[in-house]
Amino acid sequence: MTATETSFDTTDLPMVRRAALALAMHLLIEDERGLVLLRGATSADRANLEAKFWDCFDGDTREGVATLVRLWSLIDVFQARRLQDLLMARGFRVVQSAIKVAASSRLNLQWGFNPQRFVTALTREEAEVVVLPRAIPAMVPAREVAIAA
């Protein structure tokens, strides 16, 4: 592998599988550190998670690194007041949607996720999850329609 194959474009980190990001979040919650979305991650939180993550992660090292960077950026973006308010209003069910958004959104390593774009994407994602399909009306035979008219 050359250096260009093993390095990242820091202005646009690669997308990761939702399952990998969900694994990292699950490990935090399993370790009773689920409140990192509200209070932020300490260096101890990061060290503990990274050790457990690499023990459990079954994938390419490049994807694992990108997953951890996206997780820490997800935690950092939740320090924005609007996202904390959203988390407090909707509870931890917002985490599943946040993982989906974080796995696929553009991410600049220097700036992290854009909080406003993240709120917009998260709100859109939650709306898609909540929307129930409309019931398809039963087909009325043409003869009955003609009689009704």
- Looking at the chain, the whole-number percentage of residues with pLDDT higher than 90 is 62
Is this model's pTM higher than 0.85 or not?
Answer: no
Task: Say which DSSP state 12 is in.
Answer: S
Q: What is the pLDDT of residue 43?
A: 93
Structure tokens at 20: 């990998």
Is 141's pLDDT higher than 90? no
Exposed/middle/buried for residue 1 (C-beta within 10 Å: 0-12, 13-18, 19+): exposed
Q: Calculate mean pLDDT across residues 73-102.
A: 93
Which residues are within 8 A (CB) of 84 and not within 5 positions of it... i.e. 6 or more apart?
Answer: 37, 38, 78
